[in-house]
Chains A and B, each alone.
Chain A
């Protein structure tokens, strides 16, 4: 088993946190993992992405150009990364910021659109759309057990964000359940 995912969006959308959490969950599930963030000017706004690789064998390259999965939180990231998605690969897309019609140009890829911002807002945590998307990815791919993500949150949330632990869990579950109810659709054309 080898699973590669690129997570991308605006700086501030929690892209690096979500990627880091997925890697933490993978490690706690006994997998080999690498987490490669972009860093620098992105920290101050602008596009931001990170690459996570999970495998049951030694991982050579942490750099992946053609991933099996994507988590796309905004339109510029959709345009940049979806063309690189492997055939039959899955893109989890935040439909609050990316129109569904965009998927039409990519035959053979699977898309799971979810209203990540809405789900987070409904849980009273508008900043946590990242967790909704991560929940959807974990449900759609079963790459790590969801409990490992929830327990991973404990080790990863810094002290000053501790009060957000339950909100993170709730939004993650909303995304997870959304994906169980709505399966990914393959692009027609």
Chain B
């Protein structure tokens, strides 16, 4: 199959279409407008619905309405727009609805800027809205992976009846790479909960208000059990673990720059491994635990003030040292900058 040269945002939209996404609701914001642009062009051709809402609040509530009928649907936005959606995120999680949300994040807090940032890691992995819930969070590092993980997000969100979020940023959203738009197998799951008309069957109810004795607790226990079951979906890319003394960890587009730095260090003979979480929730604890048990130290590189480093520390549970290289926006680091830090980390021993 011939590759096409597309932006990350376009790859996300193509992945959604490949997964059978029928409805898109959104409100424009930089740097993700290529997603609605492509959806506006393609969805009507396929008998789907593209709707530019009057605000992010409207868009996400339209999404809630659409997915409660069992149809595959999505929204996308960037950091400040995602914050606006947070209340409905909580309802999506409470109602266990398989919605797909894309955050092509930018620098914050507040209006921040439009450059690449990973400042929304906590917001993505801890839920953003109120109450005890999580999204399933996937973070691609290449254009091909953006396509495939978006399709996967639709599948997993139905498998677990669970909102799924793609967390990426302006760097991957705006860059172009060859994409092989191959056919993907996206599994379907029975939707015996969908509100698709009760003619000939008993009525169904989707609700998030539980006032009866013990009801809310049972509800939360159910969600907790589901989040635990989701752990089997945890994924990470691990390279050069053999004989490593230091593992450098990064996610998303920044991991590309970090990988380059790791390769520079390995060329010079430094024993460095590379770990990239692909799922941010569930966090792939296993490779971290295994490396920690072998005495490997960690350097966690992020485009924020240090967020994922907390999950790494929880995963290794005090068994090894975890250093943070926290790089808040707005400048992207050079591979050489990270390479120098790797060298310093290793020389200290």
Sampled A-B contacts (14; CB under 8 Å): A20-B5, A34-B176, A35-B5, A35-B177, A36-B176, A39-B114, A39-B174, A40-B114, A60-B259, A60-B335, A61-B261, A61-B335, A65-B334, A65-B335
Judging by beta carbons under 8 Å apart, are A33 and B178 in contact? yes
Judging by beta carbons under 8 Å apart, are A33 and B175 in contact? no
- Between A24, A34, A60, the greatest number of chain B beta carbons within 10 A of the residue's beta carbon is seen for A60
Judging by beta carbons under 8 Å apart, are B5 and A24 in contact? yes
Q: Which of A23-46 contact B (CB under 8 A)?
A: 23-24, 27, 32-37, 39-40
Q: Cβ of A186 < 8 Å from any Cβ of B?
A: no
Q: 4 new A-B pairs (CB below 8 Å) besides A20-B5, A40-B114, A62-B177?
A: A24-B5, A35-B176, A37-B174, A65-B334
Q: Cβ of B3 < 8 Å from any Cβ of A?
A: yes
Complex-state Cα separation, A32 to B171, whole angstroms: 18
User: How many A residues touch B, CB cutoff 8 Å?
Assistant: 18
Q: Cβ of B285 < 8 Å from any Cβ of A?
A: no
Judging by beta carbons under 8 Å apart, are B256 and A60 in contact? yes
What's the least CB distance linking A89 to chain B, in Å? 16
In the assembled complex, which residues on chain A have CB atoms less than 8 Å from the CB atom of B259? 60-61
In the assembled complex, which residues on chain B have CB atoms less than 8 Å from the CB atom of A34? 175-177
User: How many B residues touch A, CB cutoff 8 Å?
Assistant: 23
Q: Which residue of chain A has the shortest Cβ distance to B115 in the bound complex?
A: A40
On whether A35 and B336 interact (CB within 8 A), knowing A20-B5, A23-B5, A60-B259, the answer reads no
Q: Cβ of B315 < 8 Å from any Cβ of A?
A: no
On whether A39 and B5 interact (CB within 8 A), knowing A61-B259, A62-B175, A63-B257, the answer reads no
Judging by beta carbons under 8 Å apart, are A20 and B257 in contact? no
Judging by beta carbons under 8 Å apart, are A32 and B174 in contact? no
Q: Which residue of chain B has the shortest Cβ distance to A35 in the bound complex?
A: B176
Binary contact track B10-36/A, C-beta < 8 Å → 1, others 0: 000000000000000000001100000
In the assembled complex, which residues on chain A have CB atoms less than 8 Å from the CB atom of B256? 60-63
What's the least CB distance linking A52 to chain B, in Å? 9
Q: Which of A161-181 contact B (CB under 8 A)?
A: none
Complex-state Cα separation, A66 to B260, whole angstroms: 13
In the assembled complex, which residues on chain A have CB atoms less than 8 Å from the CB atom of B175? 34-37, 62
Binary contact track A49-62/B, C-beta < 8 Å → 1, others 0: 00000000000111
Judging by beta carbons under 8 Å apart, are B171 and A36 in contact? yes
Q: Cβ of B145 < 8 Å from any Cβ of A?
A: no
In the assembled complex, which residues on chain B have CB atoms less than 8 Å from the CB atom of A33? 5, 176-178
Pick the 7 closest A-B CB pairs, nearest first.
A61-B260, A60-B260, A65-B334, A35-B176, A60-B259, A61-B257, A36-B175
Q: Cβ of B263 < 8 Å from any Cβ of A?
A: yes
Judging by beta carbons under 8 Å apart, are B114 and A63 in contact? no
Q: Cβ of B332 < 8 Å from any Cβ of A?
A: yes
Residues of B within 8 A of A (CB): 3, 5, 30-31, 114, 170-171, 174-178, 256-257, 259-261, 263, 332-336
- Between B30, B178, B261, the greatest number of chain A beta carbons within 10 A of the residue's beta carbon is seen for B178
Complex-state Cα separation, A36 to B260, whole angstroms: 16
What's the least CB distance linking B111 to chain A, in Å? 13
Complex-state Cα separation, A39 to B173, whole angstroms: 11
Q: Which residue of chain B has the shortest Cβ distance to A37 in the bound complex?
A: B174
What's the least CB distance linking B48 to chain A, in Å? 23
Task: Pick the contact of B174: A36, A61, A65, A66 (CB < 8 A).
Answer: A36
Complex-state Cα separation, A33 to B260, whole angstroms: 15
What's the least CB distance linking A6 to chain B, in Å? 13
Judging by beta carbons under 8 Å apart, are A27 and B178 in contact? yes
In the assembled complex, which residues on chain B have CB atoms less than 8 Å from the CB atom of A63? 171, 256-257, 332-335
What's the least CB distance linking B268 to chain A, in Å? 16
Q: Which of A2-17 contact B (CB under 8 A)?
A: none
Q: Which residue of chain A has the shortest Cβ distance to B263 in the bound complex?
A: A60
In the assembled complex, which residues on chain B have CB atoms less than 8 Å from the CB atom of A39? 30-31, 114, 170, 174
What's the least CB distance linking A36 to chain B, in Å? 5
In the assembled complex, which residues on chain A have CB atoms less than 8 Å from the CB atom of B114? 39-40
In the assembled complex, which residues on chain B have CB atoms less than 8 Å from the CB atom of A23? 5, 176
Q: Which residue of chain A has the shortest Cβ distance to B257 in the bound complex?
A: A61
What's the least CB distance linking A154 to chain B, in Å? 13
Judging by beta carbons under 8 Å apart, are A40 and B30 in contact? yes
Q: Which residue of chain A has the shortest Cβ distance to B116 in the bound complex?
A: A63
What's the least CB distance linking B121 to chain A, in Å? 20
In the assembled complex, which residues on chain B have CB atoms less than 8 Å from the CB atom of A32? 178
Q: Which residue of chain B has the shortest Cβ distance to A84 in the bound complex?
A: B334
